[in-house]
């Protein structure tokens, strides 16, 4: 009996034979994602040691990746125990919890630009980077892969609605009738758009989890097939612990993002669109690519487009509502480049999903478009550089006048 207890402890199991919650944090349990858990204590040590912003930023990013994966896995395991109805709602709510937590910390630190950039990056990253990588990885193994074009078409069409919701506030702001004194009107417009997006998301849940459940839940496709099943206690414990640690790592990440971007010579928008968005979605990205290599394209496409839908229809409105808990609320007015990036990515995703087939060339094209947009965000001038240009332009008339004066005898 004592020997059995010792064996259970060595295997990370409790007395009942079920794996304990702490065993999920064992770096020996899985591959690279579990090894990155070592970055969690490293980030904490660096924080209390007063390390520079670059080290804090890198450590926090590395720590959030496996924690987001654990949170997603715990949510899925718990969803299987609770049944398809409640389980599907749980997945829909916590599917992008890591991105939401990071954005909330940035929001209450006044980094609205980083918040909007991370929302843009999540949408663009899922529709171009994840979908493209899935098509490419799967297409290199299978000549042609097929998926349910009806389900993909419905989801991508809803993404068009989300893109319109981001476009309208930007157009409204540029109207000649709208002046700087009409800021309250822009906030009211953003609230109205957010309410409509939330209602659309509710309708999508009814459609995908109720009336057309079979369309969005293909039989025989499970990203965690063959893996151990977790108990309810373990799933809930891991979900709580991972959420708390992600909140802590997000606080460290947000506190270091400005200093790190300035030191590395990158503008904050590029950091939000590319770096922060990839970090928050890394675990989900890898799952979509892995199942695509198993020829489970319905699941792969569903992960990529479904995650974008959650960001646009749920996370973005929640952040707008949450911003009213501070002095100055946030609106849904995105920059021109952000709006163009979302529109292009949604249009391309809609085009490649129309025929219900994919190949490696389509995936490569999506990745090339993502790379082009990433370059545009990378070379986007930062605020400090714009202000220096403005000061230089203001000094030009004085310099010209000085040169025009006659020389003193």
Give the confidence band of 77 by pLDDT, cuts at 50, 70, 90.
confident
Boundaries of every domain in the chain: 31-376
Query: How far apart, in whole angstroms, are the C-alpha atoms of residue 89 and residue 85?
Result: 6
pLDDT of 307 > 60? The answer is: yes
Say whether pLDDT at 335 is over 50: yes
Give me 88's structure tokens. 């599907």
- Residue 35 above 70 pLDDT? yes
Token pair listed for 116: 């909007």
- C-alpha to C-alpha distance for 216 and 302, rounded to whole angstroms: 8
Question: Is it the case that residue 387 has pLDDT exceeding 60?
Answer: no
Q: What confidence category does residue 370 fall into, taking pLDDT thresholds of 50, 70 and 90?
A: very high
Tokens coding 383: 């605020």
pLDDT score at 86: 58
* 189-197 average pLDDT score: 93
| Residue 373 pLDDT level (bands cut at 50, 70, 90) | very high
Tokens for 342, please give them. Answer: 């979302």
Residue predicted with more confidence, 208 or 217: 208
Distance from C-alpha of 157 to C-alpha of 140, rounded to nearest angstrom:
28
Mean pLDDT of 299-309: 85
Q: Which two tokens stand for residue 371?
A: 């790379």
Q: Is 217 helix (H, G, I), strand (E, B) or coil?
A: coil
Is the pLDDT reported for residue 73 higher than 90? no
| Residue-wise DSSP of 309-351 | HHIIIIIHHHHHHHGGGSSS-------HHHHHHHHHHHHHHHH
For residue 136, give every residue at least 6 positions away whose Cβ sits within 8 Å of its Cβ, in sequence order, or none: 360, 363, 364, 367
Q: Phi and psi at residue 405, in whole multiples of 5°?
A: -65, 145
Instruction: Specify the pLDDT at position 383.
Output: 43
Q: Which two tokens stand for residue 54?
A: 């670059």
- What number is the average pLDDT over the span 141-155? 86
CB neighbourhood size of 237 (10 A):
17
* Mean pLDDT (whole number) for 296-313: 86
Under a CB-based contact definition with an 8 Å cutoff, are residues 51 and 58 in contact?
Answer: no
Is the pLDDT reported for residue 369 higher than 90? yes
> Which band of pLDDT confidence, cut at 50, 70 and 90, is reported for residue 384?
very low
The pLDDT score that the predictor gives to residue 199 is 93
Q: b vs e for 368-390, b when ≥16 Cβ sit within 10 Å of the residue's Cβ?
A: ebbeebbeebeebebeeeeeeee
| pLDDT greater at residue 337 or residue 86 | 337
| 25-29, 261-265, 366-370, range with the lowest pLDDT | 25-29
- In angstroms, the CA 327 to CA 323 distance is 8
Q: Which of 305, 306, 250 is nearest to 100 (CA)?
A: 250
- Residue 226 pLDDT level (bands cut at 50, 70, 90): low
Q: Which of 169-183, 285-299, 376-390 has the lowest mean pLDDT?
A: 376-390
Task: Give the burial class of 224: count Cβ atoms within 10 A of its Cβ; 0-12 exposed, 13-18 middle, 19 or more buried.
Answer: middle
What does the alpha-carbon distance between residue 267 and residue 371 come to, in Å, rounded to a whole number?
A: 17
Lowest mean pLDDT among 2-6, 28-32, 107-111, 390-394: 390-394
Mean pLDDT lowest among 82-86, 279-283, 327-331: 82-86
Task: Give the residue-averaged pLDDT of 76-97.
Answer: 65
Quote the CA–CA distance of 258 and 268 in Å, as a whole number.
7
pLDDT digits (tens, 9 = 90+) for 88-120: 556 656 667 888 888 899 899 888 888 999 999
Higher-pLDDT residue of 185 and 280 is: 185
Query: Structure tokens of 344?
Result: 């292009």
Residues 6+ positions from 259 with CB-CB distance below 8 Å = 52, 53, 54, 57
Whether residue 252 is predicted with pLDDT greater than 50 in this model: the reply is yes
Q: Which residue has the higher pLDDT, 25 or 70?
A: 70
The answer to whether 89 and 271 have CB atoms below 8 angstroms apart is no
**pTM of the complete model:** 0.78
């Amino acid at each position: 009996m004592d020997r059995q207890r010792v064996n259970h402890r060595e295997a990370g199991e409790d007395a009942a034979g079920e794996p304990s919650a702490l065993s999920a944090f064992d770096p020996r349990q899985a591959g690279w994602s579990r090894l990155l858990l070592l970055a969690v204590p490293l980030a904490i040590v660096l924080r209390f040691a007063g390390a520079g912003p670059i080290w804090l930023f890198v450590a926090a990013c590395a720590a959030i990746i496996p924690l987001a994966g654990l949170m997603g896995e715990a949510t899925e395991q718990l969803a299987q125990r609770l049944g398809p109805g409640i389980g599907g709602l749980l997945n829909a709510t916590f599917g992008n919890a890591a991105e939401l937590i990071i954005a909330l910390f940035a929001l209450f630190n006044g980094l609205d630009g980083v918040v909007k950039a991370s929302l843009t990056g999540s949408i663009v990253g899922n529709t171009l980077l994840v979908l493209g990588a899935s098509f490419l990885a799967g297409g290199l193994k299978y000549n042609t892969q097929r998926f349910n074009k009806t389900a993909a078409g419905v989801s991508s069409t809803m993404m068009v609605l989300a893109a319109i919701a981001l476009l309208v506030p930007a157009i409204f702001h540029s109207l000649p009738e709208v002046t700087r004194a009409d800021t309250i009107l822009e906030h009211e417009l953003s609230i109205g758009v957010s309410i409509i997006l939330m209602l659309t998301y509710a309708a999508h849940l009814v459609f995908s989890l109720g009336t057309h459940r079979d369309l969005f839940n293909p039989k025989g496709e499970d990203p965690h097939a063959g893996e151990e099943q977790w108990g309810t206690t373990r799933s809930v414990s891991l979900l709580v612990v991972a959420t708390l640690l992600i909140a802590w790592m997000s606080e460290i990440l947000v506190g270091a993002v400005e200093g790190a971007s300035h030191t590395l010579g990158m503008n904050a928008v590029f950091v939000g669109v590319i770096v922060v968005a990839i970090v928050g979605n890394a675990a989900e990205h890898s799952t979509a690519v892995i199942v695509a290599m198993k020829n489970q394209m319905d699941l792969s496409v569903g992960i990529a487009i479904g995650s974008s839908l959650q960001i646009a229809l749920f996370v973005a409105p929640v952040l707008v509502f949450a911003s009213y808990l501070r002095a100055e609320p946030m609106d849904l007015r995105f920059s021109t480049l952000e709006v163009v990036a979302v529109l292009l990515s949604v249009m391309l995703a809609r085009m490649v999903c129309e025929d219900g087939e994919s190949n490696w060339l389509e995936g490569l094209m999506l990745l090339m478009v993502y790379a082009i947009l990433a370059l545009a965000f990378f070379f986007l001038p930062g605020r400090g550089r714009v202000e220096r240009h403005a000061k230089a332009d203001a000094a030009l008339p004085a310099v010209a006048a000085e040169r025009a004066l006659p020389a003193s005898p």
